[in-house]
Structure 1
Amino acid sequence: MDPIPAASGAGQPDRGPNLLDELKAQLVWLLWRSEPNPDPTKKPIKVPYYVGGGRRNGQLDGPEDRSRLVTHAVAEAKFEELAGAYTGLAIALGPDGRGGCWQGIDLDDIEAKGLSDLATQWVRGDSAGWGYIEITPSGEGAHVLGYGQEFRTLGSNASGIEAYSGERFFTFTGVSAKHDSPHRPIDLAPYVEKVLAPRHSCGRSKAQSESATTSVDPKTVTELRSALAHMRSDDRDMWMRMGMALKDLGEIGRGLWFEWSQTSESYEPRQASRDWDSFEPRDTGYKAVFAEAQRQGWVNPASKEAALVPSAAAPDNGRRELVCRPLGGVQPRAIDWLWTGWIPQGYITILAGESGAGKSTVLADIAARVTTGRPWPGERLDALRVPGRVLWLGSEDSVEEMTVPRLMACGAALDNVTAIDGVALAGKRTTFSMQDDLEEVSRLLGAAKVEQRPFAMLVIDPVTSYLPGQKLRKVDLNDSGQMRTILEPWLALAQQHNIAIVCVTHFAKDTSRQMMHRVLGSGAFVATCRSLCVVIERQATEDFEPEPNEKLMLQVKTNLPEDPGGSWRLVTEKVEVSTDPRNSKPIAATRPSWLELDATLSARTVVGPKRGPKSQKAEGFGIWVRAQFAQNPPEWLPVSVVLAAAKKVGVSDSWWNKNSSDFLDRDNQGGTWMCRPKSLH
């Protein structure tokens, strides 16, 4: 039998540090626990946990991750303290800050896979007894540990051989296969590249070598995307497992996996491409994605059922079962903001207001700041950010005559704005649909990330124009069920691509409702969004006269912790942005000039607890009431008499019913309803 190829230090005399002693002293140790596999027909899975608590996830081998690792002594003490809570100790492979990487080779099912020759080489070693090899928890495999340079990962396939130099953990049993022989440091990289890589490449099954793929329909693709969006792609172990599960879908699976991969801060396109090409899965398929997402609480938004693929352990009678997960292993994460307190990334924001209130002008300024990286209102002038891209879907305004001039007036970088003009279907242009074209938008966003030019914001103006589709041709805005069916997949898309979606809509005309409930259509709009901003005209009061064209931007509802600290006062101003080359006419547009963030202004203080912006008749009606009673000395007058007089000056029944109580007190006196001005008592 040929000896193991020479690696760093091979062939040297038996002296120097003991690899195992050195390993135990390093900050590389974790705990692990055996947990049920989402697929009950498969073996349990090994899940790593930090000794200080919490499941290991996030950016593996990053500074935060490595800072939470401990020495063997600390991990062993915690394992004994929490007797029974964990299955054993584990080692985090990867860089340890000293210039090298802890490396690992996994020889799985040695007898069944015909790997006895490799295991024997490491057990026997050479005269110096290099390397450390131990028996795995199953007793049927072996782990070889070393320290040295990074090498190309050999992922799981039918060969039974795996090799890693980072972003992976190995269980640790301490059961050495070399008994009392010394374990000297060795760099495994040459051995992995020269011996294991060729043998690993022969592990493809016949079906895999023929590039066989599984076909799925568009509905399943959409549901796979929803399931993936429910999970964290920065959990390295899950990321690899989901990639292998999707591999049998061919290019469709590759596209889904890459879209999902881009939601991780540690995403690196070239490395992801190499990992995908190395996937040679066994005993898995795309249904494993549904199973894992269901285990984490995913509910298929299309069917509203708890699982798309029922568990094999589900009872035959189809009884619904609760899907739960322990929160002890959930890694909390901070909210990313496009504009702190106003527009969060990964969520839907509603921008509402009455026609002509200035919504489009404000939105153009927001887009301009995104595309240029200029500071947000109130920030320091040197608080610059990396410019982002905006995807713009608008139907109410002409792009050439309204949208582009507004963006120019606000100083936008137009090259960073892409407008969706519609959809091409069978060579014909048709209207964009939020029901039918979600997948195409996701593909566009994913491609932009691959090109390293991601979109930061998606504008849908107005959202009500794009609701109809093939499934629901006529959408009832007041039907919460219909609205949720359309909107919730867009929330999943926002989270998947970490993009801020801003949906523009109008106010209903009923001013008797709270501002939150004046958003046109179903309460599903307000329920689905995480931020509801409104733009309204500033009304004069007895002690305040607003600036000409003054508006207010208010935060009406947010489910997120950051508070903007008040409402923005702004004025709109008209500026000339260019000249039409066809006829030399000037091109003008409006832009906002931000005045101040007023902490005293809110949806409640501006318009009262139960009203939207007050009717323009209100001030005139108050004057009329005082004049009416001044001409009639009695303190109380019949309501019918006052109402009849009010109708003569143009007050309608509906306006009276909604607003007169703000100005009049009523009292039933001897069976007749009487009223008097509130100011007379």
Structure 2
Amino acid sequence: MDNITINATDRSILPPPAELREQPVWLIWRKERDPDSSNGKPLKVPYYANGGKRHGKQGGIDDRGRMTTFAAARDAAVRRGFTGVGLALMPELGITALDFDNCVDEDGRLPPEIEQIASQTYAEYSPSGKGIRAFVRGSYGNRKSPSEGNPYGFEVFSSNGFVTFTGNAMPYTDILGLEDTIADLDALIAPLCAARFQATTQRSFDPDDFMIGREPKTGQTLSQMEGLLSVLDPDMPRADWIRVGMAAHHETDGDDTGFYLWNDWSQNGEKYPSEEALRTQWESFDRRKGSGHSNITMATVMKMAKEAGYRDTGVDSSDLRQQAQEATSNLSHVDGVRTPDGYSGKFPVHGASDPALHQSTEWYIKGVLPKADLIVLYGQSGSGKSFVALDMIGAVARGKQWQGCRVKKAKVVLIAAEGSGGVGKRIRAYCKHYGLNEADLDIGIIRVPPNVIEEVDVKELCTALAFVQADIFVIDTLAQVTPGANENSSDDMGKAIRNIRLITEATGATALVVHHAGKDATRGARGWSGIRAAADAEIEISRNDTGHLISITKMKDGDDSQQWGFRLNQVQVGIDNDGDIETSCVVEYVEAPPKPVKSSGPKGKIQATIMERARHCGAGTPEGALMQDVIDASVGTIPFDPVQAEGEKKPRDQRRGNVTRAVTTLCNQGYLITRNDRLYVKGFEPHYTSEHTVSLLDASASNCFKSDFEDI
């Protein structure tokens, strides 16, 4: 295949997937001579959009502050005559770039394992045209396996380095509509990483070490192990999740006690595959015995738990009984269930009629923003969440009603950590819309993003908020004040939320945290599920074909069913230095649009297998797939043991009937479309005069499928 030259001045190239476009992780690059290269191959050197060469700590505050969005980087590359644009993968993105070097042959074909990946997620040709780059979900580290001794080079970027972006998408991307798809393909990528990076991670073992494989147990009881797992996020990186399973397997000698401990804990995560899949993984741990590798023990889990904040009380029940007896021996009797007046313990018991229990909730916006520790406002990129946050706090700063809700006037500080360059325009637009002078708006702005993971920044932020006596502080966004943190980690995000709560305790101010929605917006905010659990209130900002919507999704001691519709109106706010009009947006409220119906998707293992086999057979292409091929392929993936057990009837092979019924269901539900003897994934079917659902049961008896469709 001829080399492909990508020109950064070509604005028609395909942009990156939507969730990457507005992320401030983009750079520009140009080719420069490598003085150390013997073959004359140039280097791809990254620069910031302002023309300065990238330097210093990658992912540090200075580095992040100089990176920009895709469109801004592309325009800078045009102005400065650079070769192209690229991006720096940051850990909070939860995205890995897979770089396959010299994998495209002269006829444009790919190795099967790369083709499988490239046909299910956004993938593009490298600048040379001889390699492929694909973007997938998950973190696979920052590692490299060279071409020497391998059919192609393989490198992964998750939280470091620099990756060029060409926009020269592979044919699959256009045909299958994958322009905005960043898929979770762990089942394909994890084995590939294990095979290619094994040589660089292999430990050397001493064959004479008698203790290898005989590591002692920690003696943890079941309840103690449950306590350790209770502070760990089951959606942790796969390698850590496997270690937890191995440790439980070792501690319980591989019996069902350990399996169900691991299984019950894993079920709390969104990545939970199935009990059957876990059972297969559990049984594989037996094969580790005698391999010359050390066993993973519960000591590893204890370390992980302590890093996540777990503290072993070490309390003995007999000591507790003695302490309780001593404490109550001198207490006088009281009526009701309460501790007596003058009780000095840390946890007094209040009677049901105690006035302290019947105080009304205080509100900044009644029913919307409570006077509490933590409120989370989240939404997808482009949903308008920052504008909504400003509109709400603007009402609080002015003491004016918000959407008919009473408002308590308060001092507000906005931490503009994301898009700080545009915050001035947003405020000008807001003031112009409401006929205000900017000086009369009681909102303070912090333009330097703090790192709420770092103790120094937490103390500095606390001091600044206390100095201005802030009642509410807005963090826009959580990702920008947790640089380098893993959003899926209970350790990193738990520490961030704890530190934010410490600030609220010290200052008495309420934290309103603006956050991103996850890849599946129906599952809530992005990252660690503990964020929602910690929030006193949660507000979702969504956008679909019917409009924008504000929804209360959680409200302690309040109504969590309220919704408001809105649209974003553009407002002219001034003229820039080049004489061009500057604009921003304001929120205008309209009737709440209907929420789109959520699709449950194909259900069950058989239906999922059929959809996967259908795509494999070509149902996700305009040519479609033969129905018989899809059914045959699906039947072949379902296990069947024909051996008759003693004292039981000979087993009947019912796989074909089950698959045929499942195909009928998928057709009737619209996931698959039938045309004569072919199947199509919805959206790829040829045009016909009418659409009907088809029952395949009768036709399957003769292995001949018919339909009511007629070609136009």
**TM-score, with normalisation over the residues of structure 2?**
0.36
Higher relative contact order (CA 8 A, sep 6+): 1
- TM, length-normalised to structure 1: 0.37
Larger Rg: 1
